[in-house]
Amino acid sequence: MASNHLTGIGSESKQLATWYFAFAAIIFGAQLLFGLVAAIQYVMPGFLFEILDFSVARMLHINALVVWMVFAMFGAVYWLLPDETGIETIGIKVGKLLYWVFVAAIVIVILVYIFVQVGPADETSIWFIHEGREYIEAPRWADIGIVVVALGFVANLFMTGMTGKRSGIVTVLMADMIAFAGLYLTGMFFTDNITVDQYWWWWVIHLWVEATWEVYVGALAAYGLITMIGAHRKVVEMWLWIEVAMLFGSGILGMGHHYFWIGTPEYWWEIGALFSALEPLPLVAMFIHVLYDWGKTQGGQDATGQKLSVINNKPAFTWFVLNAFGNFLGAGIWGFFHTLPQVNLYTHGTQFTSAHGHLAFFGAYATILIGMMYIAVQGTNGIKVMKSTKSSIWAVSMIAGGVMGMTVALTVAGYVQVLVSRAQMGATWAGYFDGQSGLWFAQAMDWRLIMGVVTFTGFLFLAKDLLSIGKSQIHER
Amino acid sequence: MIEEVVMRQDIALGDFLTIFVSSALVLVFGGFYVGIYTAVKVNLLKNWTMFLAYSFWMLTAYCLYLMGSLMHVGEFTAKALVVAAIGLLLLPHAVYFMQHQVHEENEH
């Protein structure tokens, strides 16, 4: 049995973590809601026309995604810091103040997106409405606020890491979070050349999701395996260093696959092809990481003659295992099959990209962050062995099934676009409309909407479960 | 000065499905390869299943070849794909070797 040293009781850092998780869960719900609006508009183009147009719904959908994940990431770090360093997080009062600054900024930005929607397309837009940059639309005043919050968070992490015990996990997080916060700056300055602008914008998006965020997930998986199944720290941290090397080794220059068609020099084709081909390797490694540690730990347990499970938090472990599979599927398989320039010429900007985006963000990040929320519920309620409830099972099944269904539907739609819009019609304007007017495309969009509803229903189960599972009588306390 | 025009061969309409399926199978088979290899090493599977792991790696390499040839990849990308295939072959060996060393030093 893994020793559960988690306790959220009495730790201010862990209390702050639960605040972060709570707000993250609310924004997660908002993300799904606006995603549903956008999905409905693909099926019924007149839905909420000139009230909440597709461009606005999509902007809210993908920005809420980034925001809830950043909140949950900060929360997860505040949760694990006392466990890893052996001391209370330093600067926690400032951390709490910055949390409210962050929440206020996000709430104002969301209200502006919903009620103002479009600016006058001058400096006023960039400063007060949005910047016209996918995923990171926050206007400049909010950008500055986010930078202050991020710097405060990094300062707390560093002060605590330098003062307390510095485990391998904390060391990786310290280095990673500096890059995580620093890269955001490259998406803040304005250029009047779209190629230059995209060039730097990818430094945020790609170097977040295919480098710093992936490394962060590796660190979180390491922490989760130690706390949930009692995996051997030295072994897990050894894995972590291997993953860090592989992720940065392939991920940083893997950015070349975003530079194929935006006007950057042609050498990016070769660089992008080479490093994109290598990018799945660390994802495969992360997938076997979980298998290896669970096999070793459970094997050691079985060798003592006891047939007990080594897992002390079933719902969280389920989400962590889903993370290993989801990362491999969404980022790995769905990324790899359209990453080489020869085929990306046809798939770029079709629903293939959307399919990859949905499954990769969900598989690589949403899963493990939801798992961390369950770990927080366990610690906050002082539960020794946490079991899954019916709601836990419904939530994980419907959310995972829904996202997978959406991905398959979008893949079918993308395939139609590749054949019709690109291969047959030569990427012409007429081809773009022809690609979207066929029966296969339309039916794929119907299925995407149905699966979106399934996902949202799963989220309702998840919210209910996170709010009630801690009080359930089925756990060992 | 006239700039050189990059000419490339189009992908045949009927080849797209094979390309997408074979690219997906590269990682599916690759996952089976490292999964079985790891499972054998941590005694979750019997030793005789190791030949299945290597069979899956061969399927992975074949899918990479099929995908690359149907896409008409250039000389450089072809070499990159060979490097990726060899990388995948060595990956579980290298990782398991390192992990085993750590386990030996810290047997618990």
pLDDT at A8: 61
Q: How far is B26 from chain A (nearest CA, A)?
A: 8
Give the C-alpha separation, A272 to A282, whole Å. 17
Q: Is the pLDDT of residue A7 over 70?
A: no
> What is A1-165's CATH topology?
Cytochrome C Oxidase; Chain A (1.20.210)
Is A451 exposed, middle or buried, given 0-12, 13-18 or 19+ CB atoms closer than 10 A? buried
pLDDT at A13: 94
Q: Is the pLDDT of residue A6 over 70?
A: no
CB atoms within 10 A of CB A402: 22
Judged by average pLDDT, the poorest of A97-111, A113-127, A229-243, B39-53 is A229-243
Q: Is the pLDDT of residue A3 over 70?
A: no
Q: Which residues contact A312 (CB under 8 A, 6 or more apart)?
A: A1, A2, A4, A227, A228, A229, A230, A378, A384, A385, A386
Mean of pLDDT values over A138-159: 95
Q: B103 falls in which pLDDT band (50, 70, 90)?
A: low
* The token pair that represents A403 in the structure block: 């996202």
Sequence spans of domains, chain B:
15-107
**Nearest of A402, A379, A376 to residue A461 by alpha carbon:** A402
- 3 state SS of A476: strand
Whether B76 has its CB under 8 Å from any CB of chain A: the answer is yes
Q: Is the pLDDT of residue A327 over 50?
A: yes
Q: With an 8 Å Cβ cutoff, are B88 and A336 in contact?
A: no
Instruction: Pick the residue of B8, B15, B20 with the most A CBs within 10 A to test the interface with A by mutation.
Output: B20
pLDDT at A134: 92
Q: With an 8 Å Cβ cutoff, are B84 and A336 in contact?
A: no
Comparing A143 with B98, the larger pLDDT belongs to A143
pLDDT at A34: 97
pLDDT digits (tens, 9 = 90+) for B23-72: 999 989 998 998 899 888 878 889 999 999 999 999 999 999 999 999 99
Sequence spans of domains, chain A:
1-165, 311-476
Mean of pLDDT values over A353-369: 96
**CATH superfamily name and code, A311-476:** Cytochrome c oxidase-like, subunit I domain (1.20.210.10)
pLDDT at A356: 96
Residue numbers of B between 17 and 46 with CB closer than 8 Å to A: 17, 19-20, 23-24, 26-28, 30-31, 34-35, 38-39, 41-44
Mean of pLDDT values over A436-460: 96
Looking at the partner chain, which of B71, B99, B108 has a beta carbon nearest the beta carbon of A340?
Answer: B71
Q: How far is A350 from chain B (nearest CA, A)?
A: 14
Q: H or E segment at A65?
A: helix A54-85
pLDDT at A5: 47
Q: A410 falls in which pLDDT band (50, 70, 90)?
A: very high
Mean of pLDDT values over A289-296: 74
pLDDT at A92: 94
